Amino acid sequence: MSRGIRCSGPCALAVALMATGSGCGGGGGGSGPPGPPGPNRFVYASAFQETSPGSGQFTGGIYAYQFDPASGGLTVVAGSPFAADTVGAPVVLSHDARFLYSINFAKGYSIAAFSIQADGSLVSIPGAPFVAAEPTRFLIAHPAADFLYAIASSGNLTVYSIDPSTGALTAQPAASVVNLAPPWVITPDGQRLYEVFTSEIFEFSIDPESGTLQPLAGSPVAIQTSTDGAGNAAIDPSGRFVYVTNFSVFTGFGGPMYAFSIDPQTGAVALIPPFSPTAGPQNSVVVDASGKYLVVTTVVTSKTGSNCLAVQSIEPSSGALSPVPGSPFGGACGVLIADSSGPYIYDGTDGVTVYWLNETTGVTQTVTSSALPGMAVSSLAVTH
C-alpha cells in the first residue's frame, strides 16, 4: 500500500471529478466477442482512495493492465501499481506510446516521467520528476510530435520537448498563452488546439518546430449554448468535428451534446445543429476509432434510468449527432478513453472495464473488467 498523501490542488480536483456510477465488477475473463489477432494493449489507470473518511489523506498510484484483443483477457502487469506519489493525477502518453507522464504530488507537483517496458511495467526516466517553475495541474500530450504541455494552477502554460530516445523533458522558451483550463482537444494531426468554455472557444495553432501555441485570427469564438458546465470534449479522428459535454447537474436530466465543425483551411469552429440530448448529465466523452460513433458516460440520477453509456451516431458529412437505437446501454459510467486502433472503449470507475463497440450498429458489449475495490479512477491512458 502506498503511503498517505494529503490531497490538495490537482489531487483535490481529481476527487471532485472522480468517476461516478456503478462498479466495474470482477476481473478476469471476457464476456464480449474477442477481436482479431494483433498486438496487446497496455492500459494505465490513475486511481486513488482516502485512507480514512474525512482524513484528507489519500493513497493510490498508476495501475497497469495488459489487454489481449484476441482472447479478451485483461491481466495485471507485474509490479503494478506504480508511481505511488501520483495519487489520482492525470496520465498521458507520448505520441509513440513509449513514455508515460503524470504529476508527482509529493515532490512539488513536478512532472513524473516513465518509460514503458516491453511487459508494460513503468521505469522512472533519469532526471524525473522534472521540476516546473510552478506546480503542475494538468497535462496534455501532443498526438503527433514530441511535445508535452503542462498547465499550472495559475493557468500558465509550459511547453516541453520530449527526447525521443530517453523521454526526458526540456522546457521550451516561455509561451505567451496563459489561463488555459480544460476541456481542450488537439486535432489528430497536431496542428490546432481548442479550449472550450461555456460561452466561447479559444482556437490556437501549434508551431510544428517548437510546439508553442498562437491564437488563430478571430479567436475566441462566441458560442450560443446553455451548458451549465463544459466538462469534457472530444475530437473525431478526421479532425473535422469537436464535441462538448453538457454537465447539467441541476436538472437531473441530460442536456444536449454540442457539436462544432472545424474549417479545414482556417481552423475556425462553427456550431452544428441540431443538438442531441442524453438521458442524464454528461460526464466523459470519446469518439471511436472508426469516427462513426460518439460515446459518452452520463450521471445516474433519480430522474434517469440506470443505463448510462450513451452512444451517438455521427453523420459523416455534417458531424451531427443522433442516438443509436437502444442507447443508453449498461455501463460503468466513469472516465472514458477510446482505442485509436481498434473497436474498443475503456472505462475507469472503481476499476477498468473494456467495451467492444460494434462499428456497424454502434451497440456496446462488455469484453472484460478488473476491479479496484475502494479506489476511484480519475484518468486513463492506453497504448496503441
The pLDDT of residue 1? 33
Q: CA 16, CA 276: separation in Å to the nearest integer? A: 26
SS3 of 81, please? coil
The pLDDT of residue 287? 97
DSSP for 105-152 reads: GGGTTEEEEEEEPTTS-EEEPTTPSBPPSS-EEEEEE-SSSSEEEEEE
Q: CA 189, CA 240: separation in Å to the nearest integer? A: 11
Written as one letter, the residue type at 370 is S
The pLDDT of residue 143? 96
The pLDDT of residue 35? 63
pLDDT tens per residue across span 66-88: 999 989 999 999 999 999 999 99
CB 291 within 8 A of CB 342: no
Q: Computed from CA positions of residues 172, 175, 179, 180, in that sequence, does the dihedral angle turn out positive or negative?
A: negative
The pLDDT of residue 251? 60
CB 383 within 8 A of CB 41: yes
Half-sphere exposure of 107 (CA within 13 A, CB side): 17
pTM tops 0.85 = yes
The pLDDT of residue 312? 93
The pLDDT of residue 22? 32
The pLDDT of residue 222? 83
The pLDDT of residue 34? 61
The pLDDT of residue 20? 32
Averaged pLDDT score across all residues of the chain: 85
The pLDDT of residue 228? 53
SS3 of 100, please? strand
- Ranges of the chain with pLDDT below 70: 1-38, 174-178, 224-231, 247-254
Q: How many CB atoms lie within 10 A of CB 352?
A: 29
298: Cβ contacts below 8 Å, ≥ 6 apart: 254, 278, 279, 280, 281, 282, 283, 304, 308, 309, 310, 328, 333
pLDDT tens per residue across span 15-41: 333 333 333 333 334 455 666 656 899
The pLDDT of residue 174? 66
